[in-house]
Chain A
Amino acid sequence: MTLTASPDRNAPRKAVALISGGLDSMLAARVMQDHGISVEGINFYTGFCIEGHTQAIRNQTRERPKRNNALWVAEQLGIKLHLVDVIEEYKNVVINPKHGYGANLNPCLDCKGFMVGKAREWMEANQFDFIVTGEVIGQRPMSQRRDTMPIVARESGAFDRLLRPLCAKLLPPTLPEREGWVDRDRLFDFNGRSRKPQMALAAHYGFTDYAQPAGGCCFLTNAQYSNKLADLWETRGEKRYELEDILLLKVGRHLRPRPHFKLIVARDEGETNFLLGFRQRYTHLQATSHNGPLALIEGNASDDDLELAARLTARFGKGRDATQVTVAITDQAGRTHTRDVSPLTADAIPETWYL
């Protein structure tokens, strides 16, 4: 074991807090500050984070700028935040989760163990004393249960240097509690899915503006997203992905009218602008006679497939009720041709095409 601690016994103890950008981790870090602990935050970018790159997708003309909530939390708390790219390492967590998936393709228990393990490595490299998370017993059905919390502590290698201030009183005392670095009596016993205790503590600290992401901070807990990822693996014949793949799953309507090709259709101007950044690597379509979204084709489309894709693209534009819509189709070599097509009607698109 290589766990280390601050060499100066009189120096404030130092904790690294996992900061997601949500309320719980914000509160956990703030509680530690109340105990006189020197806190720095750490945030991991997996590629599946809801926090990431939403700015680039959103309609910039209609919506106010999207902040990075983890950075915002750090600024509110007056702590440093270290952002860590774990995209490559995280693939193994998603593809081969030892503890399996949750309701969707969310490997929450493996994920938490992985992230606490990375935080432990950071703690050791930077001579911090312990790790803090905003976990609450019963908050999540897989990773935040009384019986799975010891698994995270053990498999991450953090053991009793992992402190969950919001539910610590319901768990065995950790090293920071036993050593008196923090006062166990001033920690909490939050339990279950109710948010009321957290909201009361937030009010106590004067936090009125905080993120409340529904379903957590990860796209993998989203059923529709998971369906699209499962489709990607199935059509690819293996569980494998690159960053670009999982970014595209976040954007647009995904329709698979044929087993060998998929159409990604932007839902608004923001998504069209986002997909434009990928157009050189995909055959893409857009109506020229009417306003309409950009659509990308993933897979190998025959001439008949292109006709169908053009009719689908026309369906989602302003020309959906027109008799005929002209659609420009550009292949990966940059060659463009146009087709006049009749837009598909809504009832001509089977539900099974939507991923």
Chain B
Amino acid sequence: MRYLIRKAVILILTMFLISLMTFLAFHIIPGDPAQLILGTSASAEKLELLRHQLGTDLPLWQQYTSWIFGFFRGDFGTSIRYSMPVKTLLGDRIVVTALLGLMVIVLTLVVSIPLGVYAASRRNTAAEQVVNFLTMIGISIPGFFLSIIFMWVFGLVLHLFTPGSYVSYQQDFGAFLRFMIFPALAIAVPEIAILTKYIRTAMLDEMDKDYVRTARGKGASHRTILYGHILRNAIVAVIPLIGMMIGSIFSGSIIVEQVFGVPGIGRLLISSVTGRDFPLTQTLVMYIALIIVITNFIVDILIQVIDPRIRLSN
């Protein structure tokens, strides 16, 4: 219990630090949202008026405190750029990005578990080498390059989908899925490669352990040992990876949403930074950080529930 409380305090502290850092960062970098909205032909009076309306003419501490008090009341403010409540803006986007993330996770698990098991069970064969080679390539391709290649090959050459013709999930869920499969794949490839590699390694580690030899000695079938014992333990060993994966899926979705024209959280984050839309950026940063931090929190607990042998101390 003390462990939980300590973790929770650290979590809150980290979040506070992040909000402060985002705020300061935003005011160190140049850029005036009013000027961005009005462009180069704006008059000085008009700029002054808009700054006043946006509240960007207030002292820094006042801007921060009003934001943070609002945040605790569940009021995330109004987007400077889109002149609508941040909450409204986020609503739909979160669903889009969550669906994208879910597709990535499903793709990753469906491909990498069998692949990892296969590679481990064919230890020291050509097949293992091929899988190793593929995972190595998968880990090494930058997301932006992969996205461009997907657009070119699947979109323009093979016509498997139409780049730029995103369909809202509310409008036509089938068409949404058909379009999203390619962005999802672009994010999933490195994740698949990493997970496959870890599962393979974890399984190889398990195979050398005493209990496997014992089970084998008792005459258990190869299949029972592989799936009944080794895989289960290997998956436990891979759980700590999940926290990192959620983070990397999030950041992967930022670029992929941009390239494929998917209106999700990631694309919103970029336009909020380039538009110096502070309330929106701050909320997005907090939101993304919160998900990553909480996921790690849950993973920590999960590990202990599954495997109480791991010491709580550190």
Check if A and B associate: no
Interface residues of A (CB under 8 A from B): none
Interface residues of B (CB under 8 A from A): none
